Structure 1
Amino acid sequence: MSEYEVTPPPDRLADRVQIRTGFTTEQGDVVRFVVQLEYWIDGDWAPVVRYDHDREGESGHDIAEEGLHMDVYRDGEKVDVRDISGPIPAAQGFDYAEEDLRENVQRYVKRFERWHDIRNGSDL
């Protein structure tokens, strides 16, 4: 994960599940962020789904121009990109991402466990 101005400790939701966030602000406005659901597998935290915004990054994108999307991961690789909205302010996208991951954590984790043949892995 890239370096961000603010990177609070990950929020552990279950034994093997956490949400990691990072963001950077300029004059109080969010200019970069990542919100990522992660699963502990094979001795490391692997991405399950990720939302991000970086208007100036090489691999980032500007959700204020392109809209918000969610990256879906399997076996450590991005396998799908799902469009979520049209163009929205970065702060609104950041809030949406956190809310979506918290509300849909079971669905995202169960799919990840199914894809990776993990039985009784998380305690959600």
Structure 2
Amino acid sequence: MLDFYGEEGRKTATLRVIEYERQLDIDARMRARYRVARGRVTRFIVQLEVLVESKWRPVVRYDTSHRFAHRDLYRKHGRPVKSDLKMSFEEALTYALDDLRENWEIHKSEFLGE
């Protein structure tokens, strides 16, 4: 946990960064990183990746990089399609983690065109 203090050593905010990688299969993994400040999610990225020709490629990414919660859906050839989740960061993070835990095989198959 990272703590930030004011001028006189008073605690002004607490920031936690949680980061992990979960191997789902020999050629599939989920990576997550999120920041929580004062009990609120302030940023996150949750990404499903598959190994294609010895390179990890993004399949689905949920993040807050444009200051709103959204999903980028990748295809093997072509540009990603962005969808606004229209949820709070907390709701979107939970949704993203649940989706990739439960549906990673479907996302992988669609990405690979199987």
- Between 74-83 and 11-20, report the one with greater CA deviation: 74-83
**Percent of aligned positions with the same letter in both sequences?**
31
How far does the alpha carbon of each residue in 1:36-84 deviate from its partner, in whole angstroms, 9 at most, with x for none? 000012222110010001xxxxxx2233xxxx4310123486421234x
Deviation at 1:6, TM superposition (A): 2.3
Give the equivalent residue in structure 2 for 1:62.
67
Distance 2:95 2:59 in 1: 17
Note the residue ranges of structure 1 that are not aligned, 5 or more in a row.
54-59, 120-124
Give the equivalent residue in structure 1 for 2:42.
31
Q: CA RMSD in A?
A: 2.2
What SS does structure 2 have at the residue aligned with 1:24? strand
Give the equivalent residue in structure 2 for 1:5.
17
Structure with more strand by fraction: 2
Distance 1:27 1:50 in 2: 25
Pick closer, same or farther for the CA change 1:75–1:113 going to 2, 3 Å: closer
Give the equivalent residue in structure 2 for 1:105.
104
Deviation at 1:20, TM superposition (A): 0.4
What SS does structure 1 have at the residue aligned with 2:47? strand
The one-letter code of the counterpart of 1:31 is T
Give the equivalent residue in structure 2 for 1:45.
56
What SS does structure 1 have at the residue aligned with 2:18? coil
Give structure 1 regions of 4+ aligned residues with deviation exceeding 2 angstroms: 74-79
- Is 1:72 the counterpart of 2:73? The answer is yes
Larger relative contact order (CA 8 Å, sep ≥ 6): 1
Deviation at 1:102, TM superposition (A): 1.8
Note the residue ranges of structure 2 that are not aligned, 5 or more in a row.
1-15
Q: Taking structure 2 as the reference length, what is the TM-score of the superposition?
A: 0.74
Q: Taking structure 1 as the reference length, what is the TM-score of the superposition?
A: 0.69
How far does the alpha carbon of each residue in 1:61-114 deviate from its partner, in whole angstroms, 9 at most, with x for none? 233xxxx4310123486421234x42x221111000011112221221101111
Which structure is larger by alpha-carbon Rg, 1 or 2? Answer: 2
Q: How many residues align?
A: 99
